[in-house]
Structure 1
Amino acid sequence: MRITCPICGERDRREFYYQGDAVALRRPDPDGTPEDWDAYLHLRDNPAGVTRDLWYHETGCGAWLVVTRNTVTHEVLGAVLARDAAGGAA
């Protein structure tokens, strides 16, 4: 899989570190139930199809990216700097 870093250009995915889904998790209240905390810490969706993921360009420029990709075909549909993705672009 190849990811195009907006700073460095197209690179092999081994230069990047996958961090997870690029959505904001809602942290439970400090006095939340054990079930709330268990879900927050351990339960994540694993969708088949288009996702937005957070990746770190570990052996490159050190940028955080939001990568839009298809988990079924492994096609990378786009990548933007995480700081620019707050508005939903990718």
Structure 2
Amino acid sequence: QPNYSPADLGAISVPVTVAWAASDEFIRPHHARYIAEAIPDARLVELPGVTHFAPVQRPADFNAAVLEFLEANKPRASSWRSPPTEVC
């Protein structure tokens, strides 16, 4: 069961996708929904036909979900900061 309070999850300020395997033996659907609903702007992705081991069972589907998340949240060129040039 989730051990995070709504306040803990609500304080997360980075993009989040909660990937939940539809036949997961450990993570219940209401736990995945709880986490996704408590994190601001989080997205819940259901992976059908797999268990807790979705990355092994259907790597292409799992990787597609991860790549979609990364593509949707990749930094814009203007958000990149150059490293400092001075050496202490």
More strand by share: 1
Common topology (TM > 0.5): no
TM-score w.r.t. length of structure 2: 0.24
More helix by share: 2
Greater C-alpha Rg = 2
